[in-house]
Amino acid sequence: MTAPALPPEERRLIDALRSAVERPPFQANDAFETDAELLDVGWPSLLAATVDTLHADSELATAPSPYARGWLVATAALSDLAAVGARPVGLLLSCSFPPGAVTDEAAREIGRGADAAARRQGARIVGGDTNLARDESMTGCALGLVERDAAMTRMGASAGDILCATGRVGAGNAAGVRALLGGDREDPWLPTARCEAGLVLNTHVRACIDTSDGLLSATLMLAELNGLGFELLDVPELYDQPGLELAARLGLPSWLLGAGEWGEYELLYAVAPDDEERCGEALARVGLAPVQVGRLTAEASCTILAGGGVGPAVDAHEIAARMRTLERGAGLEAELSALVEQLT
C-alpha cells in the first residue's frame, strides 16, 4: 500500500524507507492502517506502539510554555493509542535542545507537563533520551495494550457511513494562528488525548483515526484508504467556540478551522447510521459530546459543504495541497485571505 493523503515528498520518502524494511510476521496491521502499530508478542492482548515527533517551528508553535510543550508531546503519542482503542501503559520522551537555550527550570516544566498528560490517561513516563542539537524537537513513544478483538483501525468504512468526532474541532489551528499573530489566550491550550473514548468506541465504529493533523487531513486519509469520497459539513456546532471567534475577527470562513494541520487530538470515526446513537450514548458515559462532521460517499469526490451546504462546495484535495504551501509567518493572515478568495 502506498502512502495516502500525504505531501508528495513525504510520501516518496516513506515509500523508500518501507522498501528497505521487511514487515515482521508478528505485526497485526499493515502500513497506514492504524494510528499505532499493533504487535502480537504472544500476550493475551496486542501491544500497541507509536512514536511522534514535534518540532519547535511547527507543531510546538501551539504550545507557548515549557509545560505546554511537554503536555503536547505526550498527548500526541497517547492520541495514537486512543485511535486504536488501546489502554496506555508507558511513555518514553526524547528531547533535543539547542545548547544554552533551555534552563533547568524549563526542562523541569517540560517534564511536569509530559508527566501530567500521561497520568491523565493512566500512563507513566518510563524513560527517554535527551540531546543537544541545533533545533528543538520532542518525541514521544507511547506503549499500550488492546484486546485482540477490540482494536480499531482506519479500515472497514463504507459509503453512507456517518463521520463523527469525539468533540469540537479547530482548537489546534486556532491556537497555531493565534500564536503566529502574537496573541495568546490567558489559559494555554492543553488538548486531551481521547483514550477513554477509544475504549468505549471500539465495539461500535467501523474505522477510526485521530485528528492530530487536523480534521481535513484525517478525513482525506480515512477516505482514501477505504476507496471512498466524503462530504464534510461546515456548521457552527462543529467548531471550537474561541476558534470561531478568531475566524470571525480575521474575516475568514469557519471551514479553515478544520483545514490546517495543527490538530486538536479528537477521534474521527466512521459509524453506520444505525449505530450513531449508540456511539453517542457510549461517549456521553465518559463525559464527551460527539459532533457529526459529514458522511462518506461512494463517489471519489471530497468536498466541504461551505455554510452547511448554502455556500459553494470547496474541493478538499485542493485545500489540503494549498494549505501545505502557506508560510507560517507574519503574512499568514493575508495568505489565508487570498487562498479563500481563490478557492471560493
Does one domain contain both 253 and 318?
Answer: yes
Does one domain contain both 139 and 167?
Answer: no
User: Is 246 within a domain?
Assistant: yes
Mean pLDDT for the stretch of residues 319-324 = 84
Q: In terms of C-beta density within 10 A (0-12 exposed, 13-18 middle, 19 or more buried), how is residue 297 classed?
A: middle
pLDDT at 21 over 50: yes
- Matching residue, cell 511536569: 112
| CATH code of the domain in which 180 resides | 3.90.650.10
Give the least confident one: 117-131, 181-195, 231-245, 262-276: 181-195
Does one domain contain both 261 and 328?
Answer: yes
User: Is 11 within a domain?
Assistant: no
Does one domain contain both 98 and 179?
Answer: no
Confidence at residue 47, expressed as pLDDT on a 0 to 100 scale: 98
Residue 125 host element (H or E): strand 124-132
- Matching residue, cell 541545533: 134
pLDDT band, residue 186 (cuts 50/70/90):
low
pLDDT band, residue 1 (cuts 50/70/90):
very low
Does one domain contain both 248 and 109?
Answer: no
User: Is 140 within a domain?
Assistant: yes
Does one domain contain both 197 and 324?
Answer: yes
How far from each other are the two terminal CA atoms of the chain, in whole angstroms? 34
Q: Which of 147, 181, 216 is the last residue of a domain?
A: 147
d(CA 257, CA 175): 10
User: Is 23 within a domain?
Assistant: no
Domain of residue 106 covers 29-147
Confidence at residue 329, expressed as pLDDT on a 0 to 100 scale: 52
User: Is 5 within a domain?
Assistant: no
How many domains is the chain partitioned into structurally? 2
User: Is 269 within a domain?
Assistant: yes
Mean pLDDT for the stretch of residues 36-59 = 95
Does one domain contain both 98 and 192?
Answer: no
User: Is 37 within a domain?
Assistant: yes
Does one domain contain both 81 and 120?
Answer: yes
Does one domain contain both 141 and 172?
Answer: no
d(CA 243, CA 151): 33
Does one domain contain both 97 and 169?
Answer: no
Q: For 267-311, what is each residue's pLDDT tens digit?
A: 999 999 999 999 999 999 999 999 999 999 999 899 999 877 767
pTM of the complete model: 0.94
Does one domain contain both 214 and 97?
Answer: no
Confidence at residue 11, expressed as pLDDT on a 0 to 100 scale: 87
The one-letter code for the residue type at 125 is I
Query: HSE-up of 207 (CA within 13 Å, CB side)?
Result: 25
DSSP string of 70-116?
HHHHHHHHHHHHHHHT-EEEEEEEEEEE-TTSS-HHHHHHHHHHHHH
User: Is 137 within a domain?
Assistant: yes
